[in-house]
Structures are given as structure tokens and as C-alpha cells.
Amino acid sequence: MLRLTTALLAMAAVAKTGNEPAPAAQQIVAFKQRTSGPIGIMTTSAGSPIELKDASSTLNSNLIFNEYFMDSLTHIVRERIPERLVHAKAAGAFGYFEVTHDITNICKAKLFSKIGKKTPVAARLSVVIVERGGSDTSRDARGFAIKFYTEDGNFDIVGFSTPMYAYKDPLLFSSFVRAQKRNPATNLIDGNTLWDFLTLQPENLYMFLLVFGDRGVPDGYRHMPGFSIQTYQVVNESGEKHFVRFHFIPDAGIKKLNSKQAQKISGIDPDYATRDLYNAIGKGKFPSWSVSIQILTLDDVKNAKFDVFDVTKVLPQDEFPLKPLGRLVLNKNPTNYFAEVEQLAFSPANLVPGILGGPDKLFEARRLAYREAQYYRLGANFNKIPINCPIQNHVLAYNRDGRPPVKDNGKDTPNYYPNTFNGPVPYKDENRVDLIEIYQDAPNNFDQARELYMNEMTKGERSRLVDNILYSLGGAIEELQDRAVKIFTIIHPDLGYRISQGLKVNRTSYYRDDE
């Protein structure tokens, strides 16, 4: 009883902001206020009206003839679809992207065609590893996915909250996920599996310096940056090649939570970031991000001293400065979470003329993996689910049949190509450009990790980084601790020494909170 009372008090604590009712807490009340009474006669899923007696009680009656009972009971056990393997817990919202600077000299994509142009977008902001019922304030990387509904179809940027990714070789994806998920025997998160993987594939540690650092827990999604991670090839109307990385920087500023704050909030409101985003939009305080790109020429790619398509590295801004592009604004909450966010399907393969994607192997693998995930979760016709449909052009595909939704299923048009019966035909691009082919060497990002630790982190940030690493690494076996110390020492001797000393004095449960 005490636990229930505590939970109710916690709910009340997040229901209001000051004296103003929070939109998330008032959603169902708002629905009642804008309707004058019951919105109609309830029906079965087949549309048959339900009589009062059938909806009131099944006692002393024949269950199988009560269609309301049968319809609702057999449906509820089928209401869950497979949750995402990663990025399962997320907030979603909708808005627009507006071009503020002209880049038509490098990219012919219609969404960038002129200054002032607005393109509708859907956004899904997520925690990577935790399950759907986990905490928004867990220490983890975050997903930053944007779907642009352009005239030429959907363009998706499936990005991250960090400017780099963990590994270079897509072969590692399965192990990367499994090492961070639950131990198959204990069903518990296991520090040994995480640190075994990180120390066997040390290129991961550059990203994890940010995960274990102050950036590891954003103060809500409104204060979280986003990055495309990959370097995209783009072309202009003449077929000239350029290469870009996208940056989304929150106009409200980047803000973080320290470990104590994150743990405290997690115990009170595990949906903190989701609630914060919904309430901000509901109050008209629309979050926005300034969108910039780093631009490379083909000569830059050829002459760079490192692989500019290596997702485990950043592109140095002193060599490739940010160029302003536009503004992303989220101004509409979902009307129904399952329909509009849980079924929202992203894929790096969603590209439009002018944007060819990345030539690296990780991008190639993601084109397959995301498509396969949507087939598994949502079925072969996932692009016919309303939230995934292109909204500014008419789809003319030869795909037919399969698990619903099929919509009009292509009506009476031919279902094969080529044909001589006036089915849709492809267009011809006189200046067609193919994705360049590249050679990629083994990952090595210690120099950038060293730069991050020494020159981009303050003294206080370095101290908190060490404490957060110790909190995680302290539970691993000594062999893994020794391997980790050696690698951290390669990144920088000071980092390796501080972690080594911290392990010796067993500081794994101590957090600094002095800066």
C-alpha cells in the first residue's frame, strides 16, 4: 500500500509544471472538453453496433455469442508487435524543416531547392539499449532519426546523439548489441560482457567517452544534439559530387544531467524526456534545432589524411567547418503513439534524387538491416502504413498483396515490369552519378579520443568521466579491468592512471558532484 501511495505521489509530482496543467497529464481531459458527449455508438471491429447488455456483463450468458467480448478478448492478446531490438524506447513528434541557406550548388535534392522552403518531418528520439519500459535517463547513446516527406519520396536521416559511431565494420553489430543486452543465463545486464567487447574492439571507446561523460544523459530530448554520423555523397544538377555530414544543434542549448540527477529522476519519472517533449510542444514552446553541414569535395576525400567515411571518427571542424543549412522545428505531438511513433519505420535506404547515401560498408549494411527489421516488425507493406507513406507524391510501385495494409493494392494496373500496357515507367537521369567506391582500412581513432579527453573536456568533465567509467568497470572481472586500463592508457596516460587508481581504491560507487 505504501509503494502504491508513493507511486501516486510521484505521478502527481510530474503532472503539473508550476500552477499550469501539463499537457501530457491533461490529454484525456482535453479530449472530453472538445467533445460534447459520446462520439458515437460503439461497434465491433467489423462495424456492427454493440448493444448495452453485451457491453455490460457476460455473467450467465453465452460468451461465444457476445461479439463484443469475443472481439475485444481475441484482439488484446495480439496488440503487441515485436519491439525494436535497439531504440525500443522513444519519444516522437512532427514538424517541419526549413531551408535557411542555399546549397543547390552542391545538392539537387528538392527539399533543399530554395531558401524558405519547408518540408514536413517526423522525428523519433530514442534511448539505444534499454527496453521499451526502461528509463529515459539511463546512461546510453541516443538515436536522432528524422523522416523528411519530400516531393520525391521519403528521405531518412537515422542519426545519433554523438557525432561518431561505435564500430566501423558492420560485422560487429550483432555482438555489439548482445554484449550490452541481458545475459542469456541471468537475464541481467552484465558488465563483463560489455567490457569484454569494448576492450576487444577498442575503437568503440571513443564514442563511449561521450556515453560515460557528461553527454551520456541529455536533459531531455529538447536539449540533445543529433548527427548523421555518416558522410553522404550528394550531387548537383550537373552531376558534380560533394560529400556532407549533417549536424542538428538544439537552439535551446545542449544540456545534460549528472549521474545523481539522472538516477533520482529515473526513480520518480522514467519517462522524463518523453514527458518533457510532449509538454513543451503542448504548451507551444516548440523545440528547434539549427541544421548545418560539413562539406567535402572529391579532392578533399582523396587528399584527407584519414578515412572521411569512418563513422568512428569525426570530421575536424577546423578543416571542414560547419555551413548553415536550415532549421528543424517540432510543433505537433502524436495523436496516437502506436500508430504514429511505434509504427514509424526509418531506413537509411530512404534516399531521394541528389542524395546517394554513404559509400562505407556500415551504410550498406544498414540499408539491409533496417529494411529487414521493418519486414519483421511491421510486415512487407510497412511503407503503406499511413505514417510511413510519402505524403507529397503518389506511389506507383509494382509490389502487390501481402499482409495488410495493402490500401488499394495497385487497383487494376499491371503488376509486372516491363509491360506494354501503360504501367508506370522509370525516369532517365542524363547526369546520373553512381556512389563512389572506397577502400577502408582498419579502425584507429585513438588520436581523436585523446583530443577529446585532453582538449575538449574540462577538468570537471574528466573527473566525472572517470567516476562513471569506474561505476561500470568496477563490477567487471580483474582481467577485463586490466585490459581496459591498458587501452585507456593508450588513449591518454592520465586517463589510464586515474582509472587504475580508482579501481585500486574501489571507488565504484562514488560520484563527483562538485562542478
Structural domain spans, the chain: 89-168+203-388
Residues near 250 by Cβ (< 8 Å), separated by ≥ 6? 222, 223, 224, 225, 287, 288, 289
- Residue 122 has a pLDDT of 98
Residue range 176-224, pLDDT digits in tens? 999 999 999 999 999 999 999 999 999 999 999 999 999 999 999 999 9
Half-sphere exposure of 367 (CA within 13 A, CB side): 14
What's phi and psi for 394, nearest 5 deg? -95, 125
CB-count exposure of residue 28 (10 Å: 0-12, 13-18, 19+): exposed
pTM (predicted TM-score): 0.92
Residue 4: the pLDDT is 46
List Cα–Cα distances, 431 to 108, 428, 513, in angstroms: 11, 9, 58
> CA-CA distance, 446 to 202, in Å (whole number)?
9
Three-state secondary structure call for residue 485: helix
Q: What is the pLDDT of residue 343?
A: 97
290 CB-side CA count, 13 A: 10
Segment (H or E) for 120: strand 118-127
CB 468 within 8 A of CB 139: yes
For residue 49, the 8-state DSSP code is B
Which residues, given as ranges, of the chain have pLDDT below 70?
Answer: 1-19, 507-515
pLDDT (0 to 100) of residue 18:
56
Residue pair 149/391 in contact (Cβ under 8 Å)? The answer is yes
CA distances from 155 to 147, 320, 350, 413, 434 (A): 6, 24, 5, 27, 18
At residue 513, the pLDDT reads 43
- Report domain 89-168+203-388's class: mainly beta
Cβ pair 24, 282 in contact under 8 A: yes
Q: Is 376 annotated as a binding residue?
A: no
pLDDT for the residue numbered 19: 67
Closest CA to 191 of 445, 465, 478, 499: 478
Task: Return d(Cα 332, Cα 341) in angstroms, integer.
Answer: 12
Q: What DSSP string runs through 254-304? A: --B--HHHHHHHHHH-TTHHHHHHHHHHHTT---EEEEEEEEEEHHHHHH-
What's the confidence (pLDDT) of residue 515? Answer: 43
- Measured between alpha carbons, how far is 508 from 504 in angstroms, rounded to an integer? 10
The predicted-structure confidence for 435-488, as pLDDT tens digits, reads as follows: 999 999 999 999 999 999 999 999 999 999 999 999 999 999 999 999 999 999
pLDDT at 47: 86
Nearby residues of 119 by Cβ (< 8 Å), 6 or more positions away: 96, 97, 98, 111, 148, 149, 150
